[in-house]
A and B are shown apart, each in its own frame.
Chain A
Amino acid sequence: MVSFAVGLTKNLPDGRVMRSFVENHDLVIWRSVSGQLSCWLNRCPHRGMRLSHGFVRGEALACVYHGWHYGKDTACRYIPAHPDLDPPGTIKTMAFRSFDKGGIIWVNIDNKKDEPIIPNNLLSVRSLEFRCPLEMVEAEIPEFEYHSAKKGLLNLKIKKQGFGKWIIEILGQGLYMHLFLHKLPSQKCAIHALSNDNVSSEQRKDMSRLLEHLRYVSEAKYKVLAA
């Protein structure tokens, strides 16, 4: 099984928690204070609360409901209501292989080694959620046109790199953008986008707006189809 792009490294600093999905698995992804990334099932073994509502304490993730702490090995380390108890080793959650590469957070749900191919000098643009299915966006990208407010119709060279992976090159500007499409439940999807690193803030804004327009077009088409 391949690795799935679930978010941008930049959007998950040390000590923070996020929620994501791979193949309908509800996941909590968190980074400890020392920077170690973990990806678990998004469910506290105690009462089923989403762990993505929780918070990081040092090298542990704490559930927001009753404060149970889980260490990086997924085992429960501390139960605030029973401060003197050593929690039994059976209280643990399930982990998936996760890693940062090229500015993207990757998750591999069958835990097999798979190294995605991605240049390591890319700069984050943004993650953007779409309220339409991934297939809708896949179909839209090859046809996509964008009028920049300042530069008019951009000359785009669009190349597919594999399922859900695209490179959009903006010719004449020395700009290219890597898009990683990410399937989400309930007919939604996201794009995690990065660009080459020698770009100005204005050029990043242009690319961010290009993605917003792609969302606008894809969602509008989906609305027509769904009606």
Chain B
Amino acid sequence: MNFTLYDYAMSGNCYKIRLFASILDVEYERIAVEFYPAAEHKSYKMLQLSRAGTLPILKSGDMILSETSAMLFWMAQKFDSFENWWPAKRGADLNALILQWMDFSSQLSKTVGRARLNALFQTPVDLDKAIEGARRALRQIESHLTEQSFDDKKFLVSDKPTIADIACFPYVALSPDVGANLGLEHDGYPAIQSWLYSIKSLDGFIPMPGIYPMHDLKADETDFAGNRPATGKVG
């Protein structure tokens, strides 16, 4: 096995690693940890493994990682021999921008992520502050993606996806889970919608609860003319 992932299905942070592993077509061992309600990630046994007491945890040999940006970087270095996802040779500016959006993804976890945990599990949080921060983060990413589109770039730092897109994708995609009429649904964010569509269209894309696959991309249905398909089956 290439690595072991201590994982929770509902976590957007764990999903980053599952998604990137699927896109890179990398096999790994997955160990489910009961985040809610057992808080197993705070158990003695899990704290022995990672002092951070958070999920996911990535273990490869003696190496233990608890920050998703580091995991995505490690996976890109290790499994992406074409250097598409961390294009080291494309210059300092591009790499710094990738790191900047990787850092930004932790803002998304702290705002969208925490407000969503409150909506799902009543986890205590300063909800107004989290929602305000979430909205500010979505607006920032919307305005940035709008400007990218003026330069015909579909993704956060380049015309191709990088690990920055993987890092920011989950909590932007999950923001409607926080609740209606908070400015966190995707209706008012056309550039975000288009970006989510581009990421969902990638080879190897997998869903998670709250992030659905694109039904509309199934090529076998595109000749459907508004009448019942001859096969009688719609995916």
Contact = CB atoms under 8 A, between A and B. Distances in A.
A71 B150 contact: no
B197 to A, nearest CB: 8
B172 to A, nearest CB: 16
Interface residues of B, number: 31
Given A78-B227, A84-B232, A57 B147 contact: no
A64 interface: yes
Contact of A57 (B191, B197, B221, B233): B221
B188 interface: yes
A58 B214 contact: no
A69 B215 CA distance: 13
Given A72-B226, A77-B227, A201-B150, A55 B215 contact: yes
A124 to B, nearest CB: 9
A93 interface: no
A204 B232 contact: no
B222 A33 contact: yes
B107 interface: no
Binding site of A, secondary structure by majority: helix, strand, loop or mixed? mixed
24 contacts: A11-B190, A18-B193, A52-B187, A55-B215, A55-B216, A56-B216, A57-B222, A62-B215, A64-B212, A69-B234, A72-B226, A78-B229, A84-B232, A86-B228, A126-B190, A129-B183, A129-B187, A129-B188, A190-B188, A204-B150, A205-B150, A208-B147, A208-B150, A212-B143
Given A77-B227, A78-B228, A129-B187, 16 more contacts: A16-B197, A16-B216, A18-B190, A55-B216, A57-B221, A58-B223, A59-B224, A62-B215, A69-B224, A78-B227, A80-B234, A83-B232, A129-B188, A190-B188, A201-B150, A204-B150
Interface of B: 143, 146-147, 150-151, 181, 183, 187-191, 193-194, 197, 212, 214-216, 221-229, 232-234
Interface of A: 7-8, 11, 15-16, 18-20, 33, 52, 55-60, 62, 64, 67, 69, 71-72, 77-78, 80, 83-84, 86, 126-127, 129, 131, 186, 190, 201, 204-205, 208-209, 212
